[in-house]
Amino acid sequence: MTAAKSGKRDKQELKDELQALRRRVRALEGVVSKQKALEERLRRLNMVLRAIRNINQLIARGVGHAELLKGLCDNLVTNRSYHAVWVALLDASGKMTAYSQTGLGKDFLRLKRRLERGELPTCAVRALEATGAVAIKNEEGECEGCPLAGKYAGSSRLSIRLAYGGKVYGVMTVAALPGIAADKEEAGLLEEVAADIAFALHSLEAEEARRKAEEELRSSEERYRTVVEAAAQSITVSQGGRIVFANRRALAMSGYSLEELQQMGPFDLFHPDDREIALERFRRWVRGEPLSRWHPLRVQLKNGRIRWVATGLARISWEGRPAVLSLMTDITDLVQKEEELKRSEERYRTLVDSSAEGILVVQDDKVVFANRRVLREGGYTLEEIQAKSLWDFFYPEDREKALQRFQRWLKRERQPRYYPLRVMTKYGVRWVLFNMVDITWDGRPAWLVLMEDVTEQKRLEDMLIESEQRYRTVLDEMGKAYYEVDLRGNLVFFSDALARQLGYTPEELMGMNYRKYTLEEDWENIFQVFNQVYRTGEPLRSCHAVQIAKDGSRIDVEYSVLPRRDEKGEIIGFRGVARDITERKRLEEELRKSEERFRTVLDEMEDSYFELDIAGNFTFVNDALCRVMGFSREEVLGKNYRMLVAKEDWDRIFKVFNEVYRTGRPQKGVIFKTVRKDGSIGIGELAALPVRDEKGEVVGFRGIGRDIAERVKAEEERRELERRAQLAARLAAVGEMASGIAHEINNPLTGVIGYAQLLLARKDVPEDMRAPLEVINESAQRVASILRRLLTFARQYKPERRLVNINEVVESALRLRAYHLETSNIKVTTHLAPDLPTTIADPGQLQQVFLNIIINAEAAMKRVSRQGRLVVKTEARDSTIRISFKDNGPGIAPEHLERIFEPFFTTSEVGEGTGLGLSVCHGIITEHKGRIWAESQLGKGATFFIELPVVTAVMEEKAPPAQAPSRLGRIRVLVVDDEPVVREFVSRVLRAEGCEVDTAGSAEEALERLNSQRYRLLLLDIKMPGTGGIELYRRLGKIAPSLAKRTLFITGDVMGERTRDFLARTGAPYIVKPFDAYTLLAEVRRVLYSS
């Protein structure tokens, strides 16, 4: 039993041991499996390390991008047992710039094309978004559409970006056995590889940038050295209060050597008078204060000469220590031209402000400038004018016309050059002529408006020549362009300034031959310059040529040429600096033209222009002054202004110039007497202005003088014409009154005179009635005489002209007043020219004039206590006869002198005169085509002058031969007059002569009688109600033409122009009311005799 039990135990123990042994075997199998996995992992890690080692060796060798990427892919596939690897470098836009791959073959080409377009696969997109390696699986179509999806079947992938220092260079993707992608240690090793590759790419990029920077620095240093040495400016470097460097231009300009300059301070070159100014500008620059770019200073060269320069300062480092770079540009020529331009501009400003025309500059419908003429004539300040639109100053009714004219001017339509319009001033409405011109003002388009006030003198004075004024500025710096060309003249390098200057893009300009952008005429010259530099190796400077920009515009340039050498010293091309001097040449040409225009204006203008020094000696005069004064320019220059001024005006003109000197303000409108070379005296008008130096001090005077003798004469003639016109208007008014009086009085007066004479002719009139009848007749004749004088005064009565001796008429008038003159204690003295020519005149009217003047002189001399003296003188002057009456009476007041010939004007007491005497005299003399006037000074008497033209022939009418009057006999006569008194008187006279007389009171009644009866004679009143005498005469020409030749017209009115023309044209005879029986019968006999 014990043995059985022991056997059972051994068997159980064996089973347990077997079971334990099996467990140990399984454990050993796990250990072996783990050991194999560890061995495989170790093998893979060793392969990674080997790949990393190989890649680092590539990096250490400094290989390029392509070799580095290729080595990366090959090492990862060869040493790491990856199926495939591809890597792509990307630019900022995501497009591939470089790539490499291993294990993909031609399958990668499709992905390559997509990467070049910037189309990244999913794996690359995810890798770029992550910071570490990203595992990629073929699940859920994650790689759907990828050109390598089929190639990746059954494998796992890892994608990782290549990044260093915050910059992503590209992306890398590897394909391996399944499960490897999930291994973190594997991913870590791959990230380490990616980091090394990214660092290597960074190093390559940095090395390339460093290499390029060194190359650019070397090239830049060479170019700057060329620019500095070839620069047209003087360049110096100062350090520690001493000059340590100076370029060739600085040495050439100053005349010092570099060693001499290095012993000098930076301010020693400046002129002693400008040294403190330069030092102060330097201190301000050190303090950081702004400096004006244009501040010319003077430098003193080694040879003692002075040059003007513009300076510029800059802080630099020189051999590791702070220094100051100084640029000096020689602007001597520009300063001289600027001074000349200022003087020219000052002269133009003088002309503008002294112009007789108003000048405005208008911009955007607003006035921005107005000369003094506009401000003075308009009464406005400049601020008031600038506050309104230009059009606001035009008269409302003319505003639209001004706008229309401006619109037509903008369209360049033809229109009258001058067009009078009204403008409103503070003093009222004025008429102006204006013209407009395009100009540029402060760099913007504007209009120059020229206006001339023609309210008073548009018919008396010519318009001033339009003057131009342009204010010009000169640029203080010129643009510079650097260039390099090969031996054929093709551009190999240039600065941006050259591209901007020519208008090409850098790409278009690179490689372009100089002939493409220079004027053809300059090709040969440029070639010769290049050839000389090539042959001699010496640079050439200050060469000139014309460049042609891309848009075809021309650019004047000043350029330098230096040889460009290779490392062996061989000349391989040329380099230099080109400066655009188009503006400088334009300014020079503008200055020349401006000076030429200025001289042309001064030489051609009618006004005299002059310039004086402070002592009053002439330094400049124009041709007009020499022409007016009769001197040559040489005779005037250097002489004092007093040689041209009348002595009595010396002090006054001195005070004018002294006022200009003291106040600096112009003096205008100064009237003075001038003395010409021939000694004749003229009248001038002066405008004087100051001439200032650069400090603003008055150093002389300039001015404009104008000979106004003709203007003064024209003004006097204008006033005389106005006086005559006013007098003529008053005479016309009196003439109208006289005409009305004649019309109303002559008809009844004819009856009074006629019947009075008929009664006197009768023998049966009682003697006691004869005297009253004679009084009636004489009184009526006196009324008729008064009417004739009124008509003569109004020049509506034709005087009776014949050949007369004026001396006889004067003596006749004096005899008539001899008794009155003698009793009034007035002594008469005559100076009558014995050879005085005879003339055609009305002696009765002239006697009336002379008597009137003698009587007026007699009345005037009675008012003084001394003895009166009357001097009468006649003389011949050319083709006129002058008669003068001079008395020693109280004289005529100046305010009355111009009114004494006005109708009804009198200074006599009431009842002593009518005021018509001298008016009648004026009318008579004017009718004789003569002139009458008076000269007088209060207390010294008065002199009346009469001038008559010498007329030697007069048309005389044929008179019928003298014969004894006989009765008219039995002839039938028709008398037509609307006045019963006249009809009855004429009928009575004709019937007394044996005539058969019919009468008619109107034209209609006369026509009825003419149709029923034949008449030998027709007496016809010209003016009747209804149909007048002239119209009846025309009808008579149709029904009884023979009777028309035997018609005697009767007129009792002042004949108008139409009536006089009719009588002159037809030659019809007429008789003027009032007439008496003898005159009537004489005219009737003359008509019958003529027919």
Pairing of strands 667-675, 618-621: unpaired
The upper half-sphere exposure of residue 675, i.e. CA atoms within 13 Å in the direction of its Cβ, equals 12
Instruction: Report how far residue 705's alpha carbon sits from residue 612's, in angstroms, rounded to the nearest whole number.
Output: 13
Task: Give residue for tokens 């029904």.
Answer: 1039
Q: What is the pLDDT confidence band of residue 992, given thresholds at 50, 70 and 90?
A: confident
Residue type, 888: N
Are 817 and 851 in contact, with CB atoms under 8 Å apart?
yes
Mean pLDDT, residues 846-872 taken together? 88
* DSSP-derived secondary structure letter, 866: S
Chain centre distance of CA 787:
64
What's the Cα-to-Cα distance from 207 to each of 68, 87, 194, 203, rounded to whole Å?
Answer: 15, 22, 20, 6
Are 521 and 474 in contact, with CB atoms under 8 Å apart?
no
Are 361 and 441 in contact, with CB atoms under 8 Å apart?
yes
Q: Residue 791's closest CA among 1028, 1030, 1056?
A: 1056
CATH number, span 734-949: 3.30.565.10
pLDDT at 570 over 80: yes
Mean pLDDT, residues 215-221 taken together? 74
pLDDT for res 805: 92
- Collapsed DSSP state (helix, strand, coil) of residue 81: coil
pLDDT for res 51: 63
What's the Cα-to-Cα distance from 836 to each of 667, 805, 842, 871, 886, rounded to whole Å?
Answer: 53, 8, 17, 17, 19
To the question of domain 42-209 being in CATH 3.30.450.40, the answer is: yes
Mean pLDDT, residues 990-1007 taken together? 89
What whole-number percentage of the chain has pLDDT above 70? 81
**Alpha-carbon radius of gyration of the chain:** 61
Mean pLDDT, residues 742-746 taken together? 70
Q: What is the pLDDT confidence band of residue 465, given thresholds at 50, 70 and 90?
A: very low
Instruction: Report how far residue 116's alpha carbon sits from residue 169's, in angstroms, rounded to the nearest whole number.
Output: 15
Whether the bond into 416 is cis, omega within 30 of 0 = no
Q: What is the pLDDT confidence band of residue 366, given thresholds at 50, 70 and 90?
A: confident
* DSSP-derived secondary structure letter, 864: S
Instruction: Report how far residue 369's alpha carbon sits from residue 466's, in angstroms, rounded to the nearest whole number.
Output: 17
pLDDT for res 464: 36
Least confident range of 6-20, 317-331, 567-581: 6-20
Alpha helices in 310-410 (DSSP H): 332-354, 372-378, 382-386, 396-410
Express each pLDDT in 806-816 by its tens digit.
Answer: 999 999 889 87
Instruction: Report the alpha-carbon angle 874-878-879, nearest 5.
Output: 90
Least confident range of 776-780, 788-792, 1035-1039: 788-792
Q: Residue 921's closest CA among 910, 934, 908?
A: 934
Name every residue whose Cβ is closer than 8 Å to that of residue 292 and which is 6 or more positions away in sequence.
none
- For the chain, what is the largest distance between any 2 Cα atoms, rounded to a whole number of angstroms? 239
Dihedral (C-alpha) 247, 249, 251, 253: value to the nearest 10 degrees? -150
The superfamily in CATH containing domain 231-330 is PAS domain (3.30.450.20)
Chain centre distance of CA 283:
45
pLDDT at 787 over 60: yes
Secondary structure (DSSP) of 483-536 = EEEETTSBEEEE-HHHHHHHT--HHHHTT-BGGGSB-GGGHHHHHHHHHHHHHH
pLDDT for res 217: 72
Q: What is the pLDDT confidence band of residue 171, given thresholds at 50, 70 and 90?
A: very high
Instruction: Report how far residue 959's alpha carbon sits from residue 696's, in angstroms, rounded to the nearest whole number.
Output: 89
Q: What is the CATH T-level fold of the domain 486-580, as seen in this structure?
A: Beta-Lactamase (3.30.450)
Q: What is the pLDDT confidence band of residue 618, given thresholds at 50, 70 and 90?
A: very high
pLDDT for res 535: 92
Are 492 and 484 in contact, with CB atoms under 8 Å apart?
yes
What's the Cα-to-Cα distance from 439 to each of 445, 470, 471, rounded to whole Å?
Answer: 6, 8, 10
Domain 486-580 and domain 734-949, same fold? Reply is no
What whole-number percentage of the chain has pLDDT above 90? 15
Express each pLDDT in 955-979 by its tens digit.
Answer: 444 444 445 467 788 889 999 998 8
Backbone torsion region of residue 101, taken as left when φ is above 0, otherwise alpha when ψ lies between -120 and 50, otherwise beta: beta
Instruction: Report how far residue 711's alpha carbon sits from residue 707's, in angstroms, rounded to the nearest whole number.
Output: 8
Mean pLDDT, residues 780-786 taken together? 71
Q: What is the pLDDT confidence band of residue 737, given thresholds at 50, 70 and 90?
A: low
Q: What is the pLDDT confidence band of residue 910, given thresholds at 50, 70 and 90?
A: very low
pLDDT for res 831: 94
Instruction: Report the alpha-carbon angle 533-537-539, nearest 5.
Output: 60
Mean pLDDT score of the chain: 80
Instruction: Report how far residue 611's alpha carbon sits from residue 751's, in angstroms, rounded to the nearest whole number.
Output: 83
Range among 434-448, 457-471, 520-534, 964-978 with highest mean pLDDT value: 520-534
pLDDT for res 640: 93
Q: What is the pLDDT confidence band of residue 211, given thresholds at 50, 70 and 90?
A: confident
The upper half-sphere exposure of residue 456, i.e. CA atoms within 13 Å in the direction of its Cβ, equals 6
Residue 321: CB atoms within 10 A of its CB come to 10
pLDDT at 557 over 80: yes
- Structural domain boundaries of the chain? 42-209, 231-330, 356-453, 486-580, 605-707, 734-949, 972-1090
Secondary structure (DSSP) of 1010-1064 = HHH---SEEEEES--SSS-HHHHHHHHHHH-HHHHTTEEEEE-S---HHHHHHHH
Instruction: Report how far residue 84's alpha carbon sits from residue 147's, in angstroms, rounded to the nearest whole number.
Output: 14
* Of 977 and 430, the one with more pLDDT: 977
Name every residue whose Cβ is closer than 8 Å to that of residue 1009 and which is 6 or more positions away in sequence.
974, 998, 1000
Name every residue whose Cβ is closer than 8 Å to that of residue 958 and which is 6 or more positions away in sequence.
none
Mean pLDDT, residues 198-223 taken together? 79
Instruction: Report how far residue 1062's alpha carbon sits from residue 529's, in angstroms, rounded to the nearest whole number.
Output: 97
Name every residue whose Cβ is closer than 8 Å to that of residue 952 and which is 6 or more positions away in sequence.
803, 837, 838, 839, 840
Name every residue whose Cβ is closer than 8 Å to that of residue 904 and which is 6 or more positions away in sequence.
914, 915, 916, 919
* Residues 787-790: contacts with CB under 8 Å, at least 24 apart: 787/738, 787/741, 787/742, 787/745, 787/746, 787/749, 789/848, 789/920, 790/734, 790/737, 790/738, 790/741, 790/742
Mean pLDDT, residues 250-277 taken together? 87
Residue 960: CB atoms within 10 A of its CB come to 12
- 839, with CB counted inside 10 A (0-12, 13-18, 19+), is buried
pLDDT for res 806: 92
Instruction: Report how far residue 345's alpha carbon sits from residue 597's, in angstroms, rounded to the nearest whole number.
Output: 12
Task: Give residue for tokens 């706008």.
Answer: 403
Residue type, 289: E
Q: What is the pLDDT confidence band of residue 128, given thresholds at 50, 70 and 90?
A: confident
What's the Cα-to-Cα distance from 689 to each of 651, 772, 938, rounded to whole Å?
Answer: 18, 85, 42
* Of 588 and 947, the one with more pLDDT: 947
Backbone torsion region of residue 473, taken as left when φ is above 0, otherwise alpha when ψ lies between -120 and 50, otherwise beta: beta
Instruction: Report how far residue 800's alpha carbon sits from residue 879's, in angstroms, rounded to the nearest whole number.
Output: 22
State which CATH number among 1.10.760.10, 1.10.357.10, 3.30.565.10, 3.30.450.20 fits the domain covering 605-707: 3.30.450.20
CATH class, range 972-1090: alpha beta
pLDDT for res 249: 85
Residue 161: CB atoms within 10 A of its CB come to 23
Task: Provide the token pair at 537.
Answer: 């190796």
Q: What is the pLDDT confidence band of residue 477, given thresholds at 50, 70 and 90?
A: very low
Instruction: Report how far residue 805's alpha carbon sits from residue 813's, in angstroms, rounded to the nearest whole number.
Output: 13
Residue 653: CB atoms within 10 A of its CB come to 21
Q: Residue 262's closest CA among 225, 237, 287?
A: 237
pLDDT for res 790: 63
- 705, with CB counted inside 10 A (0-12, 13-18, 19+), is buried
Q: What is the pLDDT confidence band of residue 466, given thresholds at 50, 70 and 90?
A: very low
Q: What is the pLDDT confidence band of residue 80, given thresholds at 50, 70 and 90?
A: low
* 175, β-bridge pairs: 84, 157
Backbone torsion region of residue 706, taken as left when φ is above 0, otherwise alpha when ψ lies between -120 and 50, otherwise beta: beta
Q: What is the pLDDT confidence band of residue 386, given thresholds at 50, 70 and 90?
A: confident
Least confident range of 82-91, 753-762, 904-913: 904-913
pLDDT for res 859: 87
CATH class, range 356-453: alpha beta
Q: What is the pLDDT confidence band of residue 471, given thresholds at 50, 70 and 90?
A: very low
Task: Provide the token pair at 823.
Answer: 């009793």
